Amino acid sequence: MSISRTGCFAIVLVLLGSLPLAAASRPPAQGGGGAVASDERLATEVGLEILRQGGNAADAAVATALALVVVEPEAGNLGGGGLAVIKFGDEVTYLDFRETAPAAAHRKTYLDEAGEPVPEASLVGPLAAGVPGSPSGLFELHRRYGKLKWRVVVEPARRLAADGFAVSRRLHHGLVAKKEVLTRFSETADRWFPEGEAPAPGAMLRIPELAATLADYASEGPTAITSGDRARAIEEVSKRYGGILTADDLAAYAPVWREPVRFEAFGWQVASADLPSSGGILVGSTAAIVDRLSWRDTPRFGAQRVHLIAEAWRRAFADRFLLGDPSAAKAGADELLASSWLDQRSASVDPMKASASSSVEPWEHAVASDGVSESSDTTHLSVVDADGNLVALTTTLNGLFGCALYVPEAGFFLNNEMDDFATVPGRPNLYGLVQGEANEVAAGKRMLSSMSPTVAWREGEAVALGGRGGSRIPTATLQVLLNFWLDDDNLQAALDRPRVHHQWLPDQIFSEDDALSPETKAELEARGHEITWVGSLAQVHAVRWSAGGQVEAAVDPRGGGGASGVVRPLF
C-alpha cells in the first residue's frame, strides 16, 4: 500500500468504541439551502444571512470568520492566521494563510545569553507575534471562490462592530481569566477593562475602531491593514513593547494555495491540511495504523480500542517532531504516510501493553517533555451551501487573546504564534508539544500547526469539519469522523461523544470525565498507561450535505452551551 500527498490510499476506519455518550444527544439541525456551524450564534447568523442573499459556501465562510473577529476577539482574528480546505464541485484545494516569522526573527530570538528560554518571551507581548495572515487569506479565499461582492461579505461584521453586540459569557470569562496578562498593556486595558473590569455578560459592546477597519477592508481589501496608517500603527505598538513586527513584514505577506493531504477512508475520500499543519498527516497516519491493528474488530466499549488508538497517536505524534514549514520539514505526507513506514509503526505496537514514549522515536530522535498546558485559542467554522460546496476554515491567535496586545488603531489583538515554533528544539511549547529543528525559528518561516480543517465525501454525501484546541484538534477530528462513519452516530452524536487524547509526550492518555468507565481505566493502567482527567478535549463543528440538497449542522457542546456555538441552518 502506498500513499502520496495527492494520491489516494485505502484505509478501513472504525469507531472509537470505548467512548459512550454522556447523555442523549439532541438531533443535528436539518434543512435545506445551506448550513453553518461556528463558535458563536451571532457569527453563524451572519453566515446564514449571506447564504440567504445568494452567496455560496466561500462567501458565507469568510463572512462568518469576519463576524468572529468582532464577537469572539479572543480567537477570531485579523491579527492572526489560519488554514482552509475547500471543495467546490470536483475541485479540492487548501489555502495556507498561516502566520510567518518577521524578517528580524532568528533561532535565538527567545533565548538569553546562556541559551535558556526567556520566560514568556514567545507568549506575552508583541515579540511573540508572527506576521498576520488573516487579512490577505480571507480576501484570497473570497477572490478565488466567492460569488457576492466583497463589500457585501464584509458588511455584516462591520455592522456588528459599529452597532454593537451582546457580550457572551465565553468572552466575559475569557477576559476575567486573562486579566492579569491583558492589563499589562495600556492599549488592551483601556479597551477591554475601561473601569478596571471586563464588560459583563449581556452588556452591549461597540468597537468603533474595528468597524472603521472593516469599512476600509471592505473598500480596499487587505492593504487597508497591511499598508498605510494601520500597518504603521502595528509596527509602532510592537516596537513600544519590544516587538520586531514591522509594516514591511505586513506588506510582504502572501497566502499560499497548496495541495491538501488526500486519502481514502472507509469508502470516503478525505482531504485535510498539509504542512505547515501536521493535522492532515496525523489524521491519516493514525487511521492507517489502527486499521492495521484490526481496531474495528474489537468491542466498541472497552479498553482495547483506547489502547490501540493511543498507541497509534503515540507514533503519529512522534513523527510530528520532524515537521515544520514545507521548506524545512525533514519529512512530509509522502514519507510519513508511506505504506512501508506505517507497516513498521503498526508492527511496533504491543496489542496488550503500553509502549514507553521514550522508546518511540521519530526515526533517530528522542527527547523529553515536562507536561501539557490546556488552552482555548483557535476558532473553527464549517459551511456547506445548497450545491454541496464545502469550506472547513480554522483561524487562530494561538493562545487566548494571542500575545495580549490590542492594537487600538486597528481594533484587534496580535497573535502569539511564535510559540508554535520550536523556540528551543526538544522542549515543550504551550500545548506540551515537543518539536524538532525542522520547526526552529527563522525569518519568513511558517510555524507548525495542529489545525485540521477537513472535508470528506462519497457518492451523494459530504461533510466538512475541524476544531479548536491546539494539539487536541487532530485527535478530536479523527474521533468524530470514526464515530460518524463506522458506528452510525448522527452528526451531533458524533460530536457529543466523550473523547481521549495522546500526543507522544507527555506520556499520558488524557481523558474527558465521561470517556472511560472505572473498569476501563483500571485495565488501561494495568497495561501501563497513565490516565490524566481533563474537562474538555477540543471543540469540533461540522456540516453535512446529502444529495437532493438536504443539509445538517452540529456544534460541539464543549463550547459552553447556550448562545455559544448555536447553529441556525434552517431557512
DSSP, residue by residue, 446-472: BPPB----EEEEETTEEEEEEEESGGG
Nine cell digits for residue 409: 488603531
Whole-number pLDDT of residue 569: 40
Tell me the C-alpha distance between 473 and 110, whole Å: 26
The active-site residue, picked from 64, 109, 378, 454, is 378
Helix, strand, or coil here: 426?
coil
183 tagged catalytic: no
Q: What is the mean pLDDT of each run of 10 residues along the chain (571 residues)?
A: 35 35 69 89 93 95 97 96 98 98 96 92 97 98 98 98 96 96 98 97 98 98 98 98 98 98 90 98 94 85 94 96 92 93 95 94 48 60 94 97 98 96 73 76 96 96 95 96 89 95 95 95 98 93 90 86 34 41
Residues 6 or more apart whose CB falls under 8 angstroms from that of 546 comprise 460, 461, 552
Burial label, 206 (beta-carbon count in 10 A; 0-12, 13-18, 19+):
middle
Whole-number pLDDT of residue 281: 97
Tell me the C-alpha distance between 561 and 571, whole Å: 22
Tell me the C-alpha distance between 514 and 534, whole Å: 10
Q: Name the DSSP letter for residue 408.
A: T
Task: Please state at what angle helix 518-526 crosses helix 303-320, rounded to 10 degrees.
Answer: 60
- Residue 238: beta bridge partners? none
Tell me the C-alpha distance between 218 and 213, whole Å: 9
Helix, strand, or coil here: 190?
helix
Nine cell digits for residue 368: 523529553
Nine cell digits for residue 457: 465525501
Separation of CA 503 from chain center: 16
Q: What is the torsion angle, in degrees rounded to the nearest 10, for the CA atoms of residue 452, residue 277, residue 366 and residue 362?
A: 80
Nine cell digits for residue 385: 451551501
The answer to whether the Cα torsion of 7, 390, 558, 183 is positive or negative is positive
Tell me the C-alpha distance between 456 and 464, whole Å: 7
Count of helix runs (H) and strand runs (E) in the chain:
18, 20
- 206, 162 Cβ separation under 8 angstroms: yes
Residues making up the chain, counted from first to last: 571
- Going from the C-alpha of 570 to that of each of 45, 165, 552, the distances in angstroms are 10, 22, 9
Burial label, 360 (beta-carbon count in 10 A; 0-12, 13-18, 19+):
buried
The answer to whether the Cα torsion of 168, 169, 172, 175 is positive or negative is negative
Nine cell digits for residue 151: 463589500
Kindly report the number of other CB atoms within 10 A of residue 257's CB atom. Answer: 12
- 556, 28 Cβ separation under 8 angstroms: no
- Residue 34: beta bridge partners? 385
Tell me the C-alpha distance between 47 and 391, whole Å: 12
Tell me the C-alpha distance between 286 and 313, whole Å: 6
Burial label, 98 (beta-carbon count in 10 A; 0-12, 13-18, 19+):
buried
Nine cell digits for residue 564: 455559544
Whole-number pLDDT of residue 48: 92
Nine cell digits for residue 522: 483500571
Cell 479597551 -> residue: 191
